[in-house]
Amino acid sequence: MHVSRTILVCLATVGQPDKTETDPLVIDARRILNTILESARTNRSDNNDELTSRYLRAAAAAASKLPEKRAVPAFALALGVALDRSEQMRKNIVVRSTWTQVESDSERKHRLAILGTPTIHARQDLAQHFGVSMALAAILGATKAEMAGLLKELLDAEEGGSGFSFADHAANLSGIELIRWLTEKPTRLANLAKQFDIGDFVLAPKGLPEGLSRAEFEKRFGNARDVRYRSMRDDMVNKIKKLPGYKKE
């Protein structure tokens, strides 16, 4: 099956979150997003990785004040929207309702004008993958979030695309793992607000294959069920779980 068709089938089976402006998740995420924007106005940095860390710490501080069950999803959704510079989620049939309720078109334009260029490991694309995957993990679940990230990379491997990037996928998996860890114990948000550092929670891209065409990916890794791909994926997840941040409480 062609990858783009696979994505459409996958999205159709996921289901629409169907959030509205009165949904507590939307309300909480909007408030946290406003906190991030306030941080952008008052705490600008020339280091774009540090910019991302500042925004995450600000979001964690705001989220830690919410009721425990609401804190992590709102934190994740707000950061997913904040770090998203594309319009893909705003057009995606699964999450566009939620995305556009959290941030209108005019609010998005304002955010992009003041937020700067937050990066992860000096790359803006990794920040976007990390943030969006966090949001998807919180509102759709870890399995569907990972599937969405993988399908995006497989689509990129098609002719004319940028190629399959394990660096991008590592950022996806890093975001998903962070949300899993926080969901397990939401009080960890308070610690993130004080000491989050990118290297402690996001796997570095060095040495990870990128720019793979569909033919190259299939030759080296087969498909998503192939033992070669699963071994690569599991190795990245294991490395993420061993990062310094997960040893802190």
The DSSP-derived string for 159-187 is TTS--B-HHHHHHHHHHHHHHHHHHH-TT
Angle, helices 24-42/68-82, rounded to nearest 10 degrees: 50
Indicate if the pLDDT at residue 248 is higher than 50.
yes
Task: Show me where the domains of the chain are located.
Answer: 16-247
Q: Give residue 8's pLDDT.
A: 42
In whole angstroms, what is the distance from residue 172 CA to residue 170 CA? 5
88-108 pLDDT per residue, tens: 999 998 899 999 999 999 999
| 120 bridge partner residues | 123
Q: Give residue 6's pLDDT.
A: 44
Between the CA of residue 174 and those of 132, 193, 219, 232, what are the distances in Å?
11, 18, 26, 14
User: What mean pLDDT do residues 169-193 have?
Assistant: 97
205-233 pLDDT per residue, tens: 999 999 999 999 999 999 999 999 999 99
Q: Give residue 11's pLDDT.
A: 45
CB-count exposure of residue 207 (10 Å: 0-12, 13-18, 19+): exposed
154 alpha carbon, distance to own chain's centre: 17
Q: Give residue 2's pLDDT.
A: 43
Residue 130's closest CA among 122, 140, 119, 139?
119
Indicate if the pLDDT at residue 22 is higher than 80.
no
Q: Give residue 213's pLDDT.
A: 97
121-158 pLDDT per residue, tens: 999 999 999 999 999 999 999 999 999 999 999 999 99
């402006």: which residue's tokens? Answer: 21
